[in-house]
Amino acid sequence: MGNDTTAVAGTRAHGFNGHGRDLRSPITLSCTHDPLEGWIDSLLYQLLSMMQRTARLVGPRKIHVENALETIVSEMEQRVLPLKFPSSLYIKDSGRDKLALTMLNFSVQFLLLPTLAVLLSVKLIKWKRKQLNLPPGRRGWPFVGETFGYLKPHPATSVGQFMEQHISRYGKIYRSNLFGEPTIVSADAALNRFILQNEGKLFECSYPSSIGGILGKWSMLVLVGDMHREMRMISLNFMNNVRLRSRLLPEVERHSLLVLRSWIHGSPFSALEEAKKFTFNLMAKNIMSMEPYEAKTEKLRLEYISFMKGVISAPLKFPGTPYWKALKSRSNILNVIEQKMQERSQEMREQEGDEEVDDLLGWCLKHSNLSKEQTLDLLLSLLFAGHETSSVALASAIFFLESCPKAVQELREEHSEIERKKLQRAESSLTWEDYKEMEFTQCSNKQRRPTLCVQKNSVTSTTTNNFMPYGGGPRLCAGSELAKLELAVFLHHLVLSYRWELAEPDHPLAFPFIEFPKGLPIKVYPI
């Protein structure tokens, strides 16, 4: 949390069509019988040998396929019996000679020519890349590139060894190969801000195909252009200011208290797991009206745990790999969502005119023109984005505040005053005005940097344009205001109800998503 934003922009190489000699035209060939038998055997051996050598084109051992082909054709013109090549095969000779010539014809037509085309394509692509003004870098291993080095866990309070080594060697902007895609990596804050602000004008968002395979081709994360804007507008409508005040604030407080009141005093538990329960149950309720702790809700939540681990992983479709498990979880999640869609459609037909269920699924079915596949991907991705990032942010706040008692005391004073005013009004729930008075809480969340112990009189000095926790430009997080509301309300009840401590040492790691290896075990005690 709190590291400067790193942008990753994909680059793609363009293919070409090479043209060589046309071997389909008739060629007149002549030869006598006796030399033909041995020569064809030799020629076939040369062809097979050349095929093997062309697969090992490295450095000075390159062979010139074009010259080899010309030599073969020249010898055939001089020594082989007259025939049409390769459209007709007629030779006044034994069956063995006919078979040999047929094999020769097959080898040239189906093995040599495709190999030649591939080699010429590779050469031209390499030549074109040399002409591009690309930053320095390296491609890494075939297929996987430098993916494993990039995904290697590192402390979340640093950019990690991979980034440090590459920045030290190549600078803040360098070339790499990640998730099977040629990639330009930028750790330059000014450039990243420029890219975010100019998406759709100078840049187009692009993610590795493996991510689209898990989130779905209609996920808002991978969409661009008009379709992205339409999906984004649906999300913004779901989390607009009016709905935040009237519907989401009471729900956020209710789900916060459900989690906090379930904690056993003095017994260790995973703060990260509890934060994920809080954010997931909140989103499941408001997206599909699923109640917390019900069997279907818990099943869906557990599927998302497996799903999350494969979103950013090496795209290896082998049983047991995180990517393979994520694809299975995606299928199971879609089955649950599709079942809810069918149930809701049936309810809407049977209860026409009655009060509608106020959730995103109902709104999409009644007011949007999205197809079934588009709706499924939208709900899946919003459930994922709406709970995963907020839960990690909340767990990180608990972690860093535990080591900063001054900030906790400031928070407690601010929320005690809000609670006092609430009691004077004889109200039991937080209002929007209460939320807007949480000034220090908002600053603590906004400026949550690992190296800072935020205090009221130093808040303004911690502001920086290089910290963009919610992105920017057209990709600015659609749920940023809901995330701030969740953090503020949960912290309000946490600091007024408990003091806490780490049950055992744990530290956030980046995978590259933030994760606590031990789940952030804590103990709480009532105040």
Average pLDDT over residues 2-28: 36
pLDDT (0 to 100) of residue 259 = 96
Enclosing H/E stretch for 490: helix 480-497
Q: Are 234 and 144 part of one and the same domain?
A: no
CA separation for the pair 463, 479 (Å, rounded):
22
Both tokens assigned to 100: 């040999």
What is the per-residue pLDDT for 13?
Answer: 34
**197 Cβ contact list (under 8 Å, min separation 6):** 472, 473
Last residue of a domain, one of 206, 238, 258: 206
The candidate with the shortest Cα–Cα distance to 440, out of 405, 389, 392, 491, is 491
Q: Is residue 112 located within the same domain as residue 152? A: no
Task: Say how far apart CA 417 and CA 491 lie, in whole Å.
Answer: 14
Tokens of 335: 């089955």
Contacts of 150 (CB under 8 A, 6+ apart): 162, 176, 178, 512
Same domain as 351, residue 202 = no
The verdict on residue 12 lying in a domain is no
Model pLDDT, residue 357: 66
Confidence at 396, pLDDT banded by 50, 70, 90: very high
300 vs 52, higher pLDDT: 300
Evaluate if residue 2 carries a pLDDT over 50.
Answer: no
Give the neighbor-by-neighbor strand order of the sheet with 498-502.
Answer: 269-270, 521-526, 498-502
Same domain? For 180 and 315 the reply is no
The CA distance from 365 to 380, in Å, is: 15
Share of the chain above pLDDT 90, in %: 43
CA distance 408 to 527: 13
What pLDDT score does 474 carry?
A: 86
What is the pLDDT, as a whole number, of residue 289? 93
Kindly report each contact of residues 192-199 with a partner whose C-beta sits within 8 Å and lies 24 or more positions away, as own/partner: 192/4, 192/5, 192/6, 192/7, 192/468, 193/5, 193/465, 193/468, 193/472, 195/7, 195/9, 196/5, 196/7, 196/468, 196/471, 196/472, 196/473, 196/475, 197/472, 197/473, 198/473, 199/473, 199/474, 199/475
pTM: 0.72
In a domain, 169, yes or no: yes
Residue 219, domain member (yes or no): no
Which ranges of 216-248 would DSSP assign to H, the alpha helix? 225-238, 241-243
Q: State the pLDDT at residue 506.
A: 96
pLDDT for the residue numbered 373: 94
Please indicate, yes or no, whether residues 75 and 164 belong to a single structural domain of this protein: no
- The strand order across the sheet containing 7-10 reads 7-10, 181-186, 173-178
Shared-domain flag, residues 276 and 416: yes
Residue at 212 is within a domain: no
512's tokens: 């590259």
Decide if pLDDT at 11 tops 80. Answer: no
The overall average pLDDT reported for the chain is: 78
Q: Is residue 163 over pLDDT 60?
A: yes
260, pLDDT greater than 90: yes
CATH value at residue 355: 1.10.630.10
What 3-state class would DSSP assign to 174? strand
Whether cis (ω within 30° of 0) applies to the bond prior to 86 is: yes
User: Does one domain contain both 151 and 94?
Assistant: no
Domain assignment present for 62 = yes
91 and 192 co-located in one domain: no
- Is pLDDT at 467 greater than 90 in this prediction? no
R_g over Cα of the chain: 32
- Residue 387, judged by CB atoms within 10 A of its CB (0-12, 13-18, 19+), counts as buried
Based on the fold, state whether residues 299 and 258 are members of the same structural domain: yes
Number of domains in the chain: 3
pLDDT of res. 199: 87
Percent of the chain with pLDDT strictly greater than 70? 70
| pLDDT at position 81 | 39
295 and 393 fall within a common domain: yes
pLDDT for the residue numbered 208: 76
Would you say residue 522 has pLDDT above 50? yes
23 or 160: which leads in pLDDT: 160
In a domain, 13, yes or no: no
Q: How far is Cα 89 from Cα 76, in angstroms, rounded to an integer?
A: 14
pLDDT per position as a tens digit, 409-456: 999 999 999 999 999 999 889 999 999 999 998 875 554 444 344 445
- pLDDT-derived band at 91 (thresholds 50, 70, 90) equals very low
Q: Are residues 146 and 116 in the same domain?
A: no
Going by pLDDT thresholds of 50, 70 and 90, the confidence category of residue 65 is very low
Q: What is the pLDDT of residue 482?
A: 94
In 379-429, where do the E strands start and end?
none
Q: What distance separates the 2 farthest-apart alpha carbons in the chain?
A: 114
- Would you state the structure tokens that stand for residue 359, as one six-digit string? 């959730």
* pLDDT in the model for residue 109: 56
Most confident among 180-184, 221-225, 264-268 (mean pLDDT) = 264-268
Minimum mean pLDDT among 93-102, 420-429, 496-505: which range? 93-102
The whole-number average pLDDT for the span 15-42 is 38
Q: Does the pLDDT at position 468 exceed 90?
A: no
Last residue of one domain, picked from the residues 114, 131, 148: 131
Q: How confident is the model at residue 71 (pLDDT cuts 50, 70, 90)?
A: low
Q: 108-128: per-residue pLDDT in tens?
A: 556 666 666 666 666 666 655
The answer to whether the beta carbons of residues 503 and 450 sit under 8 Å apart is: no
The band of 21, judged by pLDDT with boundaries at 50, 70 and 90, is: very low
In a domain, 521, yes or no: yes
Residue after which a domain boundary falls, among 175, 206, 237? 206
Residue range 327-347: mean pLDDT, rounded: 93
Judgement on whether residues 41 and 147 belong to the same structural domain of the protein: no
Give me the mean pLDDT over the 216-221 stretch.
89
pLDDT at residue number 111: 61
> How many CB atoms are located within 10 Å of the residue 191 CB?
14
Domain-embedded: residue 259: yes
- DSSP labels, 74-96: HHHHHHSPS--SSS----SS-HH
pLDDT by residue (tens digit) across 279-325? 999 999 999 999 998 889 999 999 998 898 888 777 788 898 989 99
User: What is the end-to-end Cα distance of the chain in Å, rounded?
Assistant: 29
Structure tokens given for 333: 């999640």
Token pair 């992983």: residue: 313
Residue numbers of the domain that contains 116 = 33-131
> Average pLDDT of 496-507?
96
